[in-house]
Structure 1
Amino acid sequence: MDCSTPRCSVWRELVLVVSLLACGIRQSSSQIYIIPDTLVGVEGYRSYLVLGNAPEDAQEYSWHRGANDTEGNMIISYDSTSDSRQYGPMYSGREALSNAGNLLIIRAQLNDTGNYTVRVDAINGTQTATGWLKIQELEIPGISVNTSSVVEDMESVAAVCDTNATNVTWYVDYIPVSSNSRMTVSPDGKTLIIQRFSHSDKPLQCGIEILPEIIQRSEPISLTVFFGPYYVFLWTNPNDFNGVLSAEIGSQVEMECVSYSRPESKYRWMHNGSLLSFSEKNITLLNLTWDQMGRYRCIGENPVTQLTFYQEVQVQAPWRRTIVTKTFTISGTWVVLLILMTVLGGVFFCIILIHTLIKHYSTRSHWGT
């Protein structure tokens, strides 16, 4: 159970009871007592003083500060016959008494340490019992690291938990971890070494078990992690298609580089293999010319990690399908000549046809005689 996370306020409301050996000898099997006679609590948590062996005919329970049950040191009492409670001079506003006679101290403080006496008035008589409550100071472990900044996947980090406790738990990104392929916990549990530190390996915390199943964590500590760039994305207007941007001569073209890194990437631009003096993340060509056509490369680089990525786009004029139509003209002389040739050709064709027909019929007449 961890009480250092945002849910700490909920866990602080849990009942904190540590069972120790009872002190003293019971006077008889019917003698009341406090479970346990010696109770150790922790500052800021709930502490319960539980009444043991209470008689079934109990009519009133009253709790007192100190080793006696005088009215001057009464904290609170409960009358079961009238189901009512009364508050005494030692009531601080943090005490509550259950119907079974158990005393609850909410948000225990160091000055709550001392003797507590309970008196039970029953039909068959009155009994008292005294127990000792010790509230110990809440220990919050400290944490330190060997560096405040690291290059992702290239450097290691060593964290040390400052505590006298022997049961130390380590947390990375609020999740408990143990030794693995990248992380090594020292034999005493107080040192954690992380190889190839990643930006997801934060924050770091260590925790100690202040009581059984009650974990108190240190303050989280985060490192500055330098990383990237992981990629370079080239945004264009007009939009490019498969790395090709089509634009008309005289139009406006916009290109912008986007990358993810820490620190922010530095940018360089190249045009047709030549480095441009422009070093911003975006370029705007207000009036596109033929000389500005060609391949543009955006280079994003991290000066700390020394990683570099680039992206390219080809700027060119739109592709068009060309249809060629051929025409010719004829002068008037050529028109007359063509007409004359057509007429003469027709007359010649008719003469040949008539000659062929006459010859054909003449031949048939000869064969008939």
Structure 2
Amino acid sequence: MEPPSAPAHGGRISWHRLLLAVSLLSFWNLPATAQITIESVPFNVAEGSDVLLLAHNATEDTLGYSWYRGERVENNQLIILYRVDIQANTTGPAYSGREIIYPNGSLLFQNATQNDTGYYTLMVTKNDLQREIVTGLLRVYHPVAKPIIEANSTTVTEQKDTVVLTCIINDTEVSIRWLFNGQSLLLTERIKLSQENSTLTIEPVRREDAGHYQCEASHPGNSSLSDPLRLDVKFDSIPGSTSGVSDRLEGQVTGMISQSTNPQTSTIVSHSHVNYSPNKIDEVTYSSLNFNAQESKKHSSASPPSPTATEMIHSEVKKKERNATSPARCTADLFQASQPHPQETPFPSGKMGRGSFPLFIPQ
């Protein structure tokens, strides 16, 4: 028979196991405490600006905060210490006079310099004298110098010249971008960058490239923008120009003319200012318009006496450029000159007629 004490012995073992399980369960369910972290605000700072090493997840059971220069806790690298209970701080050997500590443990650097770049260590002391240590990095960059643009030429001719703009900057480890009329420059097959974006080449140049150019140099800390450089592009508005755009003028002349027995030639001489959108061209001079015998052979009439007459006619001239057509007005004088030999005229003898003729603009 089993001893009476056996069940009791077995019961004691089960009880101890139960107590151990309850203890472990209680330990596992303890509320988790977030670890202290450091954030640089801003992450990258320009020299001369203020920067904050922000302490996250500080708890109320904190006795004090201590900041050190470097990645270790060393008394000779102590910057400043803050006691929460008495709300007082004590400076250390690494204190420069520009650091301010806040009650939440954050450290502010005023007028940061490049010498401030490096690692910083925060030690948090709890009320139970337990310590938590965390390290953060501070980056301070020198200000970017103002760049200057140099150009091989600022006045160029469309489709003939090549423009080369160079962004001059003494700083190293900077990024360069280009702006055209205040907007980021759009690169194309004609517009390219080289030499780590410091050189802008436009080949060949076109009239739409005229405007203001700037270059911006930047690093993670800050940026600097050059003064605008103006580029002027000259172009021809006559047919056959190098713009690659048709500038041909054509139109119709409609007018009243009188008849003559011997009109060999009718001549139109006019001067007109043409103004159209989007491009305005200079004054255009129309040399002459001849209605010769080839035109008059289409008609037959008697040969009345040979008068000479002048009539005002109006023509509508249109400029054809790409797919756009814009009207312009011009005024012409019609002169009919007599010739010694009779020729047929487009209108019956002794009558006034109204006709429409092609207008060819001599160049």
Instruction: Report if TM-score (shorter chain) is over 0.5.
Output: no
Which structure features the higher share of strand residues?
Answer: 2
The TM-score normalised by the length of structure 1 is: 0.42
The TM-score normalised by the length of structure 2 is: 0.43
Structure (1 or 2) with the larger CA radius of gyration: 1
